[in-house]
Amino acid sequence: MDDIPILDNHIHLKEQGSGLEGAKEFEKAGGTHMVLVNLPSWSYGISLTEPDDYRKAFQKTVSLAKKIEKNLDLDVYPVVGVHPAELTKWMEAGRSLSKTIKLMKEGLRIARKFVEENKAVAIGEIGRPHYSVDPKIMNRSMQIFKFALEQAKIAGCPVQVHMDKLNSENIKDLKDLVEEVGIEEKKVIKHFAEPAEMDLKEFNYTASVTARKQNINKLDLCSKKPFMFETDYLDDPNRPGAVLGPKTVPRRFKWLLNQDKIDKSKIIEINKKLPEKIYNISIEL
Ligand SMILES: [Zn+2]
């Protein structure tokens, strides 16, 4: 597989976790490109008190991406944003709702600037809690989600969306929001996607499918819905290997290739042609 690009579309790495070592594992398994997504602020030990705290978190991701590129034969594309769980996290910590929302919006403006300064290729993870919350919190989350999409529209970049599993009901929420803001549908990347979500015809988003074997077995590799694979590796020492380890995406492509379930041109379509179009990048070996 040496001559084929392999991209993990949603992986987290941090210096306090495996950092460069995690990237090394990905490379050793055959990975060549990664979309490195910023973690929620508290994952870096940051106790959010001012907008600049987000800048510090984003900068950690950007610096690690540079370090990986310097030390390994990998291309790393940072994605920065304000995770939807920030709202419930800081509420539980007894913070003020209005102040937290203000900070999150400031953080999203900073994320936009990172994209405008070419330090990041997209804004993410943004969205709404995937778990059930107080309707008031959900309402506010949707407002922040909209604000995040507006920042992406200004920067002209895609977004990585974290939200509840899509179905024929809630997909309307997403579609309406995206239409209202006026972002191209395919620039909306649904992270943590499962094959069942891809059958929804209402909205032509891009799916970032968790590379579990059961997902890949169910996935129609010829689906018209654009898709990439991800691990959502959390790089959390307390949850080793969660969600999937850094070697998973290259291993799955090898497995698919060995089983004759996929050919090289399809792998190139998923790992090069699509991400090039979505992120406006150039994927070379
Ligand atoms: Zn994630």
The model's pLDDT over 166-209, given as tens digits with 9 standing for 90+, comes to: 999 999 999 999 999 999 999 999 999 999 998 888 899 999 99
C-alpha 13 to ligand 1 mean position (Å)? 10
- Name the nearest CA neighbour of 282 among 20, 5, 71, 61: 5
Mean pLDDT (whole number) for 220-233: 94
CB of 208 closer than 8 Å to CB of 193: yes
Whether residue 159 is predicted with pLDDT greater than 80 in this model: the reply is yes
Mean pLDDT (whole number) for 204-229: 94
Which sign, positive or negative, has the C-alpha torsion 179, 229, 11, 84? positive
pLDDT of residue 2: 73
Q: Which two three-digit tokens encode residue 246?
A: 């850094």
pLDDT of residue 18: 95
pLDDT of residue 124: 97
C-alpha 171 to ligand 1 mean position (Å)? 20
* Distance from C-alpha of 278 to C-alpha of 222, rounded to nearest angstrom: 19
Which band of pLDDT confidence, cut at 50, 70 and 90, is reported for residue 137?
very high
Mean pLDDT (whole number) for 269-279: 98
Measure the CA angle with vertex 274, ends 268 and 275; round to 5°. Answer: 100
Whether residue 254 is predicted with pLDDT greater than 80 in this model: the reply is yes
C-alpha 124 to ligand 1 mean position (Å)? 9
pLDDT of residue 1: 72
pLDDT of residue 202: 87
Whether residue 127 is predicted with pLDDT greater than 80 in this model: the reply is yes
pLDDT of residue 283: 97
CB of 191 closer than 8 Å to CB of 124: yes
C-alpha 156 to ligand 1 mean position (Å)? 22
C-alpha 42 to ligand 1 mean position (Å)? 14
C-alpha 202 to ligand 1 mean position (Å)? 25
Measure the CA angle with vertex 246, ends 240 and 252; round to 5°. Answer: 120
Mean pLDDT (whole number) for 4-14: 98
C-alpha 11 to ligand 1 mean position (Å)? 7
pLDDT of residue 199: 86
C-alpha 273 to ligand 1 mean position (Å)? 23
Whether residue 131 is predicted with pLDDT greater than 80 in this model: the reply is yes
pLDDT in tens, 27-77: 999 999 999 999 999 999 999 999 999 999 999 999 999 999 999 999 999
Mean pLDDT (whole number) for 225-229: 95
C-alpha 140 to ligand 1 mean position (Å)? 21
- Name the nearest CA neighbour of 127 among 188, 185, 46, 47: 188
Mean pLDDT (whole number) for 129-148: 96
C-alpha 260 to ligand 1 mean position (Å)? 30
C-alpha 227 to ligand 1 mean position (Å)? 16
pLDDT in tens, 90-112: 999 999 999 999 999 999 999 99
Mean pLDDT (whole number) for 214-220: 94
C-alpha 261 to ligand 1 mean position (Å)? 28
pLDDT of residue 118: 98
Which band of pLDDT confidence, cut at 50, 70 and 90, is reported for residue 223?
confident
> CB 2: neighbour CB atoms within 10 A?
6
C-alpha 59 to ligand 1 mean position (Å)? 17
pLDDT of residue 228: 98
pLDDT of residue 126: 98
pLDDT of residue 182: 97
C-alpha 213 to ligand 1 mean position (Å)? 19
C-alpha 208 to ligand 1 mean position (Å)? 11
Measure the CA angle with vertex 162, ends 158 and 165; round to 5°. Answer: 120
C-alpha 234 to ligand 1 mean position (Å)? 7
C-alpha 126 to ligand 1 mean position (Å)? 10
C-alpha 192 to ligand 1 mean position (Å)? 8
| Domains located in the chain, CATH noted | 7-279 (3.20.20.140)
**3-state SS, one letter per residue, for the chain:** CCCCCCEEEEECCCCCCCCHHHHHHHHHCCCCEEEEECCCHHHHCCCCCCCHHHHHHHHHHHHHHHHHHHHCCCEEEEEECCCCHHHHHHHHCCCCHHHHHHHHHHHHHHHHHHHHCCCCCEEEEEECCCCCCCHHHHHHHHHHHHHHHHHHHHHCCCEEEECCCCCCCCHHHHHHHHHHHCCCHHHEEEEEECHHHHCCCCCCCEEEEECCHHHHHHCCCCCCCCEEEECCCCCCCCCCCCCCCCCHHHHHHHHHHHCCCCCHHHHHHHHHHHHHHHHCCCCCC
C-alpha 244 to ligand 1 mean position (Å)? 11
C-alpha 3 to ligand 1 mean position (Å)? 28
